[in-house]
Chains A and B, each alone.
Chain A
Amino acid sequence: MRRVVVTGLGMVSPLGCGVEPTWSRLLAGHSGAREIEGFDTSDLACRIAMPVPRGNGSEAPFDADQWMEPKEQRKVDDFIVFGVAAATQALADAGWKPVSYEDQIRTGVLIGSGIGGLGGIAETAITLKEKGPRRVSPFFISGRLINLVSGYVSIQHGLKGPNSAVVTACSTGAHAIGDAARLIALDDADVMVAGGAESAINRLGIAGFAACRALSTSFNDRPTDASRPFDKDRDGFVMGEGAGCVVLESYEHAKARGARIYAEVVGYGMSGDAYHITAPQDSGDGAYRAMSAALRRAGLSPRDIDYINAHGTSTPLGDEIELTAIHRLLGSGANALSMSSTKSAIGHLLGAAGAVEAIFSVLAIRDQIVPPTLNLDHPSVETSIDLVPHKPREREVDVVLSNSFGFGGTNACLVFRRVQ
């Protein structure tokens, strides 16, 4: 198996457009939460979210025109525009622009989404009902399909290698990066653009997640307090949107072209709960097995882990089960570990979450600093693990583990390591 490294990063997040603006605001303790604007929320239990900032004096606002022609934007849902933006940033960051046919066929794309074009599906269903099938756009299907992020990225950048997508709910981004790393390890490609994208902050998305009791509903008047992973007052997640993409590359390929290497993807583990459609299994056995499998692949022991970027969505059930699984994994080694949930600042990006959090994991290694868990005033259970409340922690970070768990009982864990 070939070694795989991360050489490029790209991101659109509720803290801004771009990796560096997001990272610096994350470390400074900013939250992307606000009251939902743009659609009626008066009859919704949850009236807050973490949207991508688009102007109005916000820092690092997202300007769609910078990434996709207006005439193309009209044909697609936002998740595709976000994904194209993150992928374009990541390729530029990696300095990889395949021009020759040989380079193009060895560069692939694997970007997923949890839900895809929910907003466009909802609007078109209304058009169909009110105006009939003759008013359904010829771009309705292509602009909503999840794999069309990978499709658009490949067309814009001439990437003719493996072209695929992952759909595993909130584990999507992590699975996409893990699967793409395997394609390189197995020599199906030399370079892969991998990640996740999501744009489900619309009436149907909020209504759906509220109906299954997943969203925070007690903080509508205090949006920035709502996402509080591991805190005793947490009551659900706050929906975010955006995209994260990384450029993965075989170690030899990166070395040969003198690319900057952020970190190595040393481990990837997957498991299924086989338990419930939305609730994690009580003992966290699925999470434990995903982490164990990732460490086994990495050839590392639990005590080698410096930082865990937790799934930590701020739901009452999930956070404690994840903590239980991590205590089982680490035993008495838990007190040397730092673990935080960056969802406290950016919310839950669903299918993009695992990718954005993988980028934070890589940056923790680059900068030797762990981002904080905001709003963690009173942990709901006693733990010897450093949950990095409120402020970032400077510390040695060589090995990072990033967890993602999704509806359906799908678990993914990635392990990144500093390249000496």
Chain B
Amino acid sequence: MSDVAERVKKIVIEHLGVDADKVVNNANFIEDLGADSLDTVELVMAFEEEFSVEIPDDAAETIVTVGDAIKFLEKTTAA
């Protein structure tokens, strides 16, 4: 697992209070991990904080699974 993936999963586990084995790449924050719309706003904020990046609202809307977040952040932090 990449460093980014590890850090993303740690944040998801902590913020959503879910078991680590549920936090897989295709897990949908709302449908699979019990988040509501405010939880997803907070998650995006936590990613911004952790990776020192800014995630614009239109990009945030495309991040709906754990894998989406990892992919986005790997791309952004590599740039």
Stretch at the interface among B24-32, B40-48, B68-76: B40-48
| Pairwise interchain contact A138-B48, C-beta atoms closer than 8 A | no
User: How many chain B residues touch A (Cβ–Cβ < 8 Å)?
Assistant: 10
Q: State whether B41 touches A138 (Cβ < 8 A).
A: yes
| A70 adjacent to chain B (CB < 8 Å) | yes
Contacts of A69 in B (CB 8 A): 17
Contact in complex: A138, B42 (CB < 8 Å) = yes
Residues facing A in B48-77 (CB within 8 A) are 48-49, 54
Question: In the complex, which residues of chain B have a beta carbon less than 8 angstroms from the beta carbon of A135?
Answer: 45, 49
Are A139 and B38 within 8 A (Cβ)? yes
Q: Using Cβ atoms and an 8 Å threshold, which residues of chain A touch B17?
A: 69-71
Which residues of B have CB within 8 Å of A278?
A: none
Q: Residue-by-residue, is A123-138 near B (CB-CB < 8 Å gives 1, otherwise 0)?
A: 0000000000011011
Q: Which of A112-159 contact B (CB under 8 A)?
A: 134-135, 137-139, 142
Instruction: Tell me whether B49 and A137 are in contact (CB under 8 A).
Output: no
Query: Interface residue tally of chain A, by bracket?
Result: 10 to 19
Chain B residue contacts of A137, Cβ below 8 A: 42, 45
**A134→B16 contact, CB < 8 A:** no
Which chain B positions have C-beta within 8 A of A142?
Answer: 38
A142 to B45, CA, bound (A): 17
Q: Is B7 interfacial (CB 8 A cutoff)? A: no
B15 at the interface (CB under 8 A from A): yes
| Complex contact A71–B15 (CB within 8 A) | yes
Q: Which of B15, B17, B49 is packed against the most chain A CB atoms within 10 Å?
A: B17
A345–B69 alpha-carbon span in the complex (Å): 52
> How far, in angstroms, from A71 to B16 measured CA to CA in the complex?
6
Q: What is the CA–CA distance of A70 and B16 in the complex, to the nearest angstrom?
A: 9
The total number of A-B Cβ pairs within 8 Å is 20
Secondary structure type dominating chain A contacts: loop
Which of A69, A134, A142 gathers most chain B CB within 10 Å?
A: A134
Residue of A with least CB distance to B49:
A135
Q: Mark A72-114, 1 if CB is under 8 A from B, else 0.
A: 0010000000000000000000000000000000000000000
CA distance A69 to B48 in the complex (A): 25
Q: Are A134 and B48 in contact (CB under 8 A)?
A: yes
- Residues from chain A with a CB closer than 8 A to the CB of B15 are 71, 74
Bound-complex Cα distance A137 to B16 (A): 14
Contact mask B1-38 → A, CB, 8 Å, 1/0? 00000000000000111000000000000000000001
- Taking CB atoms, residues of chain A closer than 8 Å to B16 are 71
Min C-beta distance of A47 to chain B, whole Å = 33
Q: How far is the CA of A59 from the CA of B16 in the complex (A)?
A: 32
CA distance A71 to B17 in the complex (A): 5
Residues of A close to B49: CB separation below 8 A:
135
A134–B42 touching, CB < 8 Å: no
Closest to B38 in A: A138
With A69-B17, A70-B17 as contacts: A139 and B45 at CB distance below 8 Å: no
Q: Which residue of A lies closest to B34 (CB)?
A: A71
7 cross-chain pairs, A with B, having the tightest CB-CB distances, nearest first: A71-B17, A138-B41, A138-B38, A138-B42, A69-B17, A70-B17, A137-B42
Task: Show 20 A/B contacts (Cβ-Cβ < 8 Å), sorted by A.
Answer: A69-B17, A70-B17, A71-B15, A71-B16, A71-B17, A74-B15, A134-B45, A134-B48, A134-B54, A135-B45, A135-B49, A137-B42, A137-B45, A138-B38, A138-B41, A138-B42, A138-B45, A139-B38, A139-B42, A142-B38
Chain B interface residues toward A at CB < 8 A: 15-17, 38, 41-42, 45, 48-49, 54
